Structure 1
Amino acid sequence: MGTVALAVTEGMLHFELSVAYEVFGSGPVGGAASWYELAVCGPESVRVGRFRMEPDHGLDRLPLADTVIVPGWADVDVAPPADLVDAVRAAHEAGARVASLCTGAFVLAAAGLLDGRRATTHWAHTGVLAARHPRVAVDPDVLYVDNGSVLTSAGKAAALDLCLHLVRLDHGSSVANAVARRLVVPPHRGGGQAQFVTTPVPAPDNHPLADLFPWVLERLDRPLTVEDLARRARMSSRHLGRHFRSVTGTTPLQWLLTQRIRHAQELLETTDDSVDAVAAATGMGTATTLRRHFNRTVGVPPDTYRRTFRTRTATAPDVNGHSPQRP
């Protein structure tokens, strides 16, 4: 947690900068006991998009931050400023977690932070990033990549996905969900960039699966199958699969598993239910099945996840805004 520093300079994109400022600079939400100290770092005066702003600190403040956010870089054909690249590199060497939003990945790549690592950026520029920095494993099909101390996001709205991911890592899912509710956005989007390259994002009630999604989320404790979903959607399983790929970028089963895991995270954070009870409530059946899928998806077993996040979110409201019951 601690200090989040936004690294700004001439040529930054204002949308990505605003996203980071809104998430990390708006104060505690969702019952979080503490929040981030936000610092805007850059030259004395910079133009961001059509606006001019005066940062609070110079770039020499970056190495003192716990997390450094590099917003999108407007002109990928122009090398980012050397002082920005040097400051970002110094921050990482000092132990800061460094995250880029959209084309901010070009700054991280110039600093050498992406060498030998998997990374992403806006789908329109992934080819340029890969060609210019061949030591970077560019993945054009994801919304963001988490390498631990170095993170990158895809374009525009994916910047918000990554910022919420950072909040989730620091404060847990309940707090991240509360931030998402305040911003009126989904707390977690499945799929990858492929769904946005040629297919516009559908309006919430303007796609064939609009009625199916809430129906499924109310029945996660049941052993639903693809056939069950297809029957509810009044279409064949094959037709359902095509719609799922178009709308979510993934398969019905993978989407369903993701929702079960997200629900399990919330129950582990906000209740004292046993792992067996959580498995039943999320449709996993047994604790063994839950542990296998949870460990594969989240990276740690359910018990470890609970120990990590329960103390941070035990008093946070659940996804419906209700405070959890204490024993």
Structure 2
Amino acid sequence: MALSASCGTIAKVNSTPAEEQRLRDLVRLRRVRDRIDREYAQPLDVEALARGAHMSAGHLSRQFKAAYGESPYAYLMTRRIERAMALLRRGDLSVTDVCFAVGCQSLGTFSTRFAELVGVPPSVYREQHVESAGELPSCHAKQVTRPIRNREAATEARD
């Protein structure tokens, strides 16, 4: 049974058992996403995330992708790359230091994923953006520099 807030009161709304399960799954998926956002630098894997959500790894992956458009691992890597971009713009850390600071265990995997999402390797990104880091407030820089996984979809959305 779902709850609906109206004028400061909570009223029960009739729903099917399937809808109730879907809502419970969405709450668990939101908690998984929030955990990834908070703990992106920690060693996280789909099995650990699924255990925390009381779901199987396969069910979590399917449901997460249906809800957010990407797998839990892809979402985690996107968060790590976003943070890496911010650290690289600061200019005071090496690419290797940034790699480990955001929770990646392999410099090669980090560099490959970074280039895939951002379009240039992390060393090139650092060189291109370290001088301009002070030009934009961080809140705007985060929006402008957010990595886009599916560049074709982003282009279509702008048209």
TM over 0.5: yes
Deviations 1:47-77 (A, max 9, x none): xxxxxxxxxxxxxxxxxxxxxxxxxxxxxxx
Query: CA offset at residue 207 of structure 1?
Result: 3.8
Corresponding residue for residue 239 of structure 1: 59
* 8 A contact 1:276–1:286 mirrored in 2: no
Corresponding residue for residue 290 of structure 1: 110
Q: 1:221 aligns with which of 37, 41, 47?
A: 41
**Cα 1:312–1:245 shift into 2, 3 Å:** same
* 8 A contact 1:220–1:260 mirrored in 2: yes
The 3-state SS of whatever aligns with 2:131 is helix
Q: Measure the CA separation in 1 of the matches of 2:90 and 2:37.
A: 18
Structure 1: give runs of 5+ residues left out of the alignment.
1-205, 320-327
**Cα 1:228–1:295 shift into 2, 3 Å:** same
* Higher helix fraction (1 or 2): 2
* 8 A contact 2:88–2:122 mirrored in 1: yes
**Cα 1:286–1:242 shift into 2, 3 Å:** closer
Q: Measure the CA separation in 1 of the matches of 2:73 and 2:132.
A: 31
Aligned residue type for 2:115:
N
**Cα 1:215–1:283 shift into 2, 3 Å:** same
Corresponding residue for residue 75 of structure 2: 255
TM superposition score normalised by structure 1: 0.32
Query: Which structure has the higher relative contact order (CA within 8 Å, separation 6+)?
Result: 2
Aligned residue type for 2:86:
E
Query: CA offset at residue 213 of structure 1?
Result: 1.7
* Higher strand fraction (1 or 2): 1
Aligned residue type for 1:295:
A
Corresponding residue for residue 51 of structure 1: none
Corresponding residue for residue 30 of structure 2: 210
Aligned residue type for 2:89:
E
* 8 A contact 1:220–1:281 mirrored in 2: no
Aligned residue type for 1:309:
H
The 3-state SS of whatever aligns with 1:211 is helix
* 8 A contact 1:244–1:252 mirrored in 2: yes
* 8 A contact 2:91–2:126 mirrored in 1: no
Q: Measure the CA separation in 2 of the matches of 1:219 and 1:208.
A: 16
Query: Superposed, which structure 2 residues align to 1:36-47 within 5 Å?
Result: none
Q: Measure the CA separation in 2 of the matches of 1:255 and 1:281.
A: 17
- Poorly superposed stretches of 4+, deviation over 2 Å: 286-289, 314-319
Structure 2: give runs of 5+ residues left out of the alignment.
1-25, 140-159
Q: Measure the CA separation in 2 of the matches of 1:304 and 1:292.
A: 13
Q: Measure the CA separation in 2 of the matches of 1:297 and 1:229.
A: 23
Query: CA offset at residue 305 of structure 1?
Result: 0.5
Query: CA offset at residue 296 of structure 1?
Result: 2.1
Query: CA offset at residue 314 of structure 1?
Result: 3.5
Q: Measure the CA separation in 1 of the matches of 2:35 and 2:73.
A: 15
Aligned residue type for 1:282:
V
Deviations 1:214-242 (A, max 9, x none): 22122222221100111122211122112
Q: Measure the CA separation in 2 of the matches of 1:264 and 1:232.
A: 26
Query: CA offset at residue 315 of structure 1?
Result: 6.2
Corresponding residue for residue 152 of structure 2: none
The 3-state SS of whatever aligns with 2:120 is coil
Q: Measure the CA separation in 1 of the matches of 2:107 and 2:138.
A: 22
The 3-state SS of whatever aligns with 1:218 is helix
Q: Measure the CA separation in 1 of the matches of 2:105 and 2:28.
A: 29
Aligned residue type for 2:41:
D
Tell me how large the CA RMSD over aligned residues is.
Answer: 2.0
**Cα 1:312–1:270 shift into 2, 3 Å:** same
Q: How many residues align?
A: 114
* 8 A contact 1:268–1:305 mirrored in 2: yes
